Amino acid sequence: MRRRAAKAAELNGCRLLAVGAPLSGPSRFEISDAPRYRQMGERFGALAAEQSICGCHIHVGVADRAEAVQVCNHVRIWLPALLALSANSRVHQGSDTEFASWRAIQWSRWPVAGPPPYFESAADFDTVVARMVDCGVMLDERMAYWDVRPSCHLPTVEIRVCDVQPTADDAALLATLGRALVATALGAIDRGIEAPNISLENLRLATWVSAKEGVLGTSIDPVTTQRISATELLHRLLIHVRDSLDETGEYASVESALRNKSVTGGGSDWQQRTLRQVCLRELIARAVQRTTPIEPARMDTHAEPATDQ
């Protein structure tokens, strides 16, 4: 799919580039010409015009909206771990922001963004969203931009905390972890286990640190607010979802991928290392190559008969 998108981009004089925020370009961008987006531009001004980020959204099917809200309560505690792992937007407009996920920092400027509160029920969720629409901080429920939420248009839980990923394999790793988190949450709900009601302040703190540090830096345990390494937080996540990964036969591959990330880092670490070695133009060229690997040559399956010499 990436190769097809890359070919379509080339036909329009562009290159496909998977980063969480623009590596270079203007500070403001033209807003899409649609009634809803025009209304957002009029109400939110520079905030809308400067909105040029790319996230990776993971949808996992659930039975109904009530179940989705309960799953979100269980998943929210692991949002800082997912953000640290997915950070892929350190370089922005030609400069090193010194944040692993500058996309997350830009995104947090919206009035309803970042980790969500703990919701008692679907009715509680709907009441809070309706109140925010009524007071004018959102146009509609679609602007409840929390990092995990019941989808507005699909029967899914939508995990929205991650940067877009530099490679398809990285995106598959996040999707696998997202599915395992939801499956683990559903198992806990079936057993009558309530999600820990971690304070929103703790989650915001942990999320900010993950955006700053990425997968090779420090992190915050959202339960205790103690500083730990991001790799330790991811190890705890792996333990948490192990049973779900074992059921799908994916534990070994996920464990191997996380172990590799603890050494090589993520997309933001790659951006930082590369910008120290080459100019911005070359960084962009190399990021394009990472986004869409060269399609392997097709082998000729029709062997020619050997000839006697």
Token duo for residue 88: 């892929």
Higher-confidence residue of 268 and 26: namely 268
Neighbours of 121 (CB within 10 A): 12
CB 267 within 8 A of CB 211: no
What tens digit of pLDDT does each residue of 134-166 get?
999 999 999 999 999 999 899 999 999 999 999
- Domains, the chain, with CATH or none: 2-291 (3.30.590.20)
pLDDT tens-place string over residues 272-295: 999 999 999 999 999 999 999 776
The conformational region for residue 298 under phi > 0 = left, psi -120 to 50 = alpha, else beta, is: beta
Give the predicted TM-score (pTM) of the model. Answer: 0.93
Element (H, E) at 58: strand 55-61
What mean pLDDT do residues 240-244 have? Answer: 98
**127, two tokens:** 């009441």
Q: pLDDT band at 299, cuts 50/70/90?
A: very low
What mean pLDDT, rounded, does the chain reach? 93
